[in-house]
Amino acid sequence: MIVVTGGAGFIGSQLVAGLNRVGREDILVVDDLKDGKKFENLVLNKIADYIDKADFRRLIAERNNVFDDIEYVFHQGACSTTTEWDGQYMMDNNYTYSKELLHFCLERSIPFVYASSASVYGVNTEFAEEPENESPVNVYGYSKLLFDNYVRKFCADINTQVVGLRYFNVFGSRESHKKGMASVVYHFNNQINETNELKLFEGSHGYADGEQLRDFVFVDDVVNVNLWMMEHKDVTGIFNVGTGKTNSFNDVARQVIDWHKNGAISYIPFPESLKGSYQSFTQANLVKLRSVGCDYEFTSLDKGVNSYLDELNAKNSLT
């Protein structure tokens, strides 16, 4: 059995779909469905069972033999709200929970792949997976970095696969439940459908209006890197998952406008609340990922955005 935590979330549910595509349906999804609308992310997926996160944590703490048949764990479950400042909540969800599951897997020699984040780099301009480049600017990024460092400490001399994947700016289908944390592609599409106007931040951190740069990565690519890791159980370490290229928010907005064949861009003041805790530039360094043989070719921005918009607007036409 394969465990996918956060399996009803954005990346988790897409990972379940990816596992289905390679013939795996023996999947245990772990999640918290207080937001019942997230069921929509799973309804087309084929799984063996579902368990609430609280029950799952209790059972692994008890070392219950109900999980004796677990062969692989994809730990995607986390609080991914970068603007959440409840540190106690964030650390329990992203750090303590991850430690619990890591030790459960280490004791049983179960391969463990987990979601880290490019937020660990903060406002640095170098994005190689090295401590000198890591200085998060919010408690979300800190929770992710603290667990990465815990893995570095406890997994130096192990035989079990342990992999951390630092996701950059992921976009794609099944993210609508994330609301404010959904990708700019999702928000730009909604804005153009509702008002025909895309709202971008004015210039900040030395960048002109809308020219802040991010590494935007299509969710299908993130899924495929996870599946590559499952196929290469000899690989262990912490790796960036991004395209290795940058695009501005203006680039993304123009791509959305091109798809719709209409729309205009306007600029809004940069929020005071984000000053000092905003990444104006991200770009994955892929040297380490390539060094272990993962030569996966990432989807271009235009191809990924067009594919996503095709799906989003096909759904909109049915509602």
Q: What pLDDT, on a 0 to 100 scale, did the predictor assign at position 73?
A: 98
130: domain CATH number is: 3.40.50.720
* Residues 160 and 14 both lie in one domain: yes
87 pLDDT band, cuts 50/70/90, is confident
Q: What pLDDT, on a 0 to 100 scale, did the predictor assign at position 83?
A: 67
Residue entry with tokens 């025909």: 196
178 is catalytic: yes
Q: Which domain holds residue 134?
A: 2-168+219-243+284-299
* Residues 47 and 192 both lie in one domain: no
* Residues 39 and 54 both lie in one domain: yes
* Residues 231 and 110 both lie in one domain: yes
* Residues 273 and 288 both lie in one domain: no
* Residues 132 and 106 both lie in one domain: yes
* Residues 104 and 193 both lie in one domain: no
In a domain, residue 136? The reply is: yes
The mean of the pLDDT values for the chain is 94
Q: What pLDDT, on a 0 to 100 scale, did the predictor assign at position 85?
A: 67
Q: Cβ contacts of residue 109 below 8 Å, gap of 6+? A: 159, 160
318 pLDDT band, cuts 50/70/90, is low
Catalytic residue, candidates 53, 99, 178, 245: 178
Q: Give tens-digit pLDDT for 178-225.
A: 888 899 999 999 999 999 999 999 998 899 999 999 999 999 999 999
* Residues 164 and 262 both lie in one domain: no
> DSSP string covering 145-167, please?
HHHHHHHHHHSTT-SS-EEEEEE
H-helix or E-strand spanning residue 234 = none
Residue entry with tokens 């899924």: 223
316 pLDDT band, cuts 50/70/90, is low
Mean pLDDT over residues 246-263, rounded?
98
* Residues 269 and 236 both lie in one domain: no
Q: Is the pLDDT reported for residue 278 higher than 60?
A: yes
Q: Is the pLDDT reported for residue 146 higher than 90?
A: yes
In a domain, residue 317? The reply is: no
In a domain, residue 77? The reply is: yes
* Residues 154 and 269 both lie in one domain: no
In a domain, residue 137? The reply is: yes
* Residues 59 and 154 both lie in one domain: yes
Structure tokens at 253: 């907005």
In a domain, residue 110? The reply is: yes
Q: Is 222 left (phi over 0), alpha (psi -120 to 50) or beta?
A: alpha
In a domain, residue 151? The reply is: yes
How much of the chain, in percent, has pLDDT values that exceed 90?
Answer: 83
Q: What pLDDT, on a 0 to 100 scale, did the predictor assign at position 170?
A: 97
Overall domain count for the chain = 2
50 is catalytic: no
* Residues 43 and 119 both lie in one domain: yes
Q: Is 174 left (phi over 0), alpha (psi -120 to 50) or beta?
A: left
In a domain, residue 319? The reply is: no
256: domain CATH number is: 3.90.25.10
**Reported pTM:** 0.95
Beta bridge partners of 240: 166
Q: What pLDDT, on a 0 to 100 scale, did the predictor assign at position 66?
A: 81
Catalytic residue, candidates 97, 140, 142, 167: 140
DSSP state of 35: S
In a domain, residue 81? The reply is: yes
Cβ atoms of 242 and 219 closer than 8 Å: no
- Angle value at C-alpha 17, between 16 and 22, nearest 5 degrees: 95
